[in-house]
Structure 1
């Protein structure tokens, strides 16, 4: 957890200080030190494509952490391309396959179609989609359980709000986000019938300013708790909440370190653990083309660091629901 906080803080500082993000940035990350003999098996090579920057503090930062864990813990050679536009997905996938990478990962729902088109051209290369449900002999995928974390976030926001106005800021109107919104709306209405729920989209996973603008607009209308699923846009929402005295529930990464008194908690989806599991199966020779839903019971989804501003009894109530989901006695998953 500490490592995740430090990485997020460093990455987000880079976003805010540079103010410039380069599209299609391709990097061959430094491989682990070579301690093998000349007759040892060739080093496993893994590449990743991301539609956003590795320093967004959330979805893509966590993917990059997972990639570096393959290098540091398993000795793999790694490479990545960030800020991949949809028009370049297939050419970049092909490029990595042609260069002899054993596993090529598309990080996000948006890579599914491109992976399914390119994969048959390279039957000896394995492809994996994080956040999707594609499958073939050489294609696997993993999607996080939908509904569980949004139920917890909905209950927390509904009981914490003082104005009875809760906001949601998302990047894109995609199926996974819509499923989480549905559970948020349902839970808020059930827990606090007096509360309203406002939804806004920024249209970008990378624009911090758009996240801030959307949050400021909601706060101006009385919203005092915002649930944010927008990668770098979450950073903007946190900035706005910090300036105007509102609160944020983060998503994907653990955002508490950015504003401990503003970020109530974060609904963490541990992409690093999902990616590391793929690497271990690849190394052990038992990787298979399959699609799997990863949820709270698998240990990859959980509330992150809690702010001290959350009353102890409310935190305990939310965590009790989390433990019930983990034990299989409370069912809120919708996929």
Structure 2
């Protein structure tokens, strides 16, 4: 069921499943997505990661979209088992609990999800060190604010980015006012924009939107208001170099590559594992010319120190 493809390109697929490669390989991997690959955000990052597994690690790969409830997860895993899949990525926290319910039934498959809490011999949950990236975003925002008021809009209560943002801002300036709100969903664009309006009415001039379903819309709205933002997930400097001070970039593709390589060499750890700046899984994006060069240099030095020691400023 694997269709040959010498050149892999990201295409919009409406079907629930699609095969990406048939190049001969010792191992086969699959990607499960709650939604589709064409969201230009988290799901697209997962698909990009899968392509790196194929091109860099040499594994056969396939993916399934719209695997959005427990029954679909179970049925899809059963199908993939019959196709000889050995490594399954569930691209998000949603899959962690569902994988925990079925992993013991599939001892020859290793299950990988993100941001969940798992345990078992053949299951891994990957965590990006969101606190640290939020921390440095907060330091920069605190330094750059002209109103002494900044804000963070998170998608989920459990996201450590928001807590890190507040801490980084406060460590930079005792007097900074930090507005911290949650919209309870990745795709709550309307709620996020209402929250943005509330924050700017309270004089927030820099906002960090930590939801891949609304971050672009928030940045564009801040641009309309002639205010500034911190990009999220990818480097959003292309949305406006005067608006986007920098971005906290999650290199999902590098993590997929690392996980697949570890699986292939028998070194993949089970349980909860973390990736951060020191693993090159997170970085700061391009700095706006609005950010003074001396502060850019200071922030880069602080991040390098954190990579070497694990100590925040």
Do both proteins adopt the same fold according to a TM-score greater than 0.5, normalized to the shorter chain?
A: yes
| Preserved CA contact (<8 Å) 2:20 2:63 | no
Secondary structure of 1:260 counterpart? coil
CA shift, 1:246, in A, is 1.4
> Which residue in 2 is equivalent to 1:274?
255
Q: Is 1:111 matched with 2:95?
A: yes
Equivalent of 1:201 in 182, 195, 205: 182
Q: Tell me how far apart the structure 1 counterparts of residues 131 and 189 of structure 2 sit (CA, whole Å).
A: 26
Q: Tell me how far apart the structure 1 counterparts of residues 118 and 169 of structure 2 sit (CA, whole Å).
A: 32
Pairs aligned (count): 303
Label 1:189 to 1:74 Cα distance change in 2 as closer, same or farther (>3 A).
closer
TM alignment of 1:138-217, pairs within 5 A: 138-173=122-157, 175=158, 177=159, 179-217=160-198
- Which structure 1 residue ranges, 4+ long, deviate > 4 Å from structure 2? 207-210
Q: Is 1:238 matched with 2:219?
A: yes
Name the Cα RMSD after superposition. Answer: 2.6
TM alignment of 1:1-335, pairs within 5 A: 26-31=16-21, 34=23, 36=24, 44-87=27-70, 88-173=72-157, 175=158, 177=159, 179-328=160-309, 330-331=311-312
Secondary structure of 1:147 counterpart? helix
Label 1:329 to 1:204 Cα distance change in 2 as closer, same or farther (>3 A).
closer
Larger proportion of helix: 1
CA shift, 1:97, in A, is 3.1
Q: Tell me how far apart the structure 1 counterparts of residues 294 and 163 of structure 2 sit (CA, whole Å).
A: 26
Label 1:331 to 1:194 Cα distance change in 2 as closer, same or farther (>3 A).
closer
Please report the TM-score for the alignment, with normalisation by the length of structure 1: 0.81
> For 1:194-244, what per-residue CA distance to the aligned partner results, in whole angstroms no more than 9, with x for missing partners?
322222333332354544343233223321111111012101111111111
Q: Tell me how far apart the structure 2 counterparts of residues 308 and 125 of structure 1 sit (CA, whole Å).
A: 48
Label 1:78 to 1:206 Cα distance change in 2 as closer, same or farther (>3 A).
farther
CA shift, 1:80, in A, is 2.3
Secondary structure of 1:274 counterpart? helix
| Structure of higher RCO (CA pairs closer than 8 Å, 6+ residues apart) | 1
Q: Tell me how far apart the structure 2 counterparts of residues 154 and 288 of structure 1 sit (CA, whole Å).
A: 32
Name structure 1 gaps, 5 residues minimum. Answer: 1-9, 15-20, 37-41
Q: Tell me how far apart the structure 1 counterparts of residues 33 and 200 of structure 2 sit (CA, whole Å).
A: 31
> For 1:91-145, what per-residue CA distance to the aligned partner results, in whole angstroms no more than 9, with x for missing partners?
4344433433111111222321111111111111111112234232111222122
Q: Tell me how far apart the structure 1 counterparts of residues 263 and 241 of structure 2 sit (CA, whole Å).
A: 38
Q: Tell me how far apart the structure 1 counterparts of residues 246 and 83 of structure 2 sit (CA, whole Å).
A: 42
| Preserved CA contact (<8 Å) 1:263 1:307 | yes
> For 1:267-323, what per-residue CA distance to the aligned partner results, in whole angstroms no more than 9, with x for missing partners?
122221111011112333444434322122222122112111211122112111101
Please report the TM-score for the alignment, with normalisation by the length of structure 2: 0.86
Secondary structure of 1:231 counterpart? coil
CA shift, 1:326, in A, is 1.1
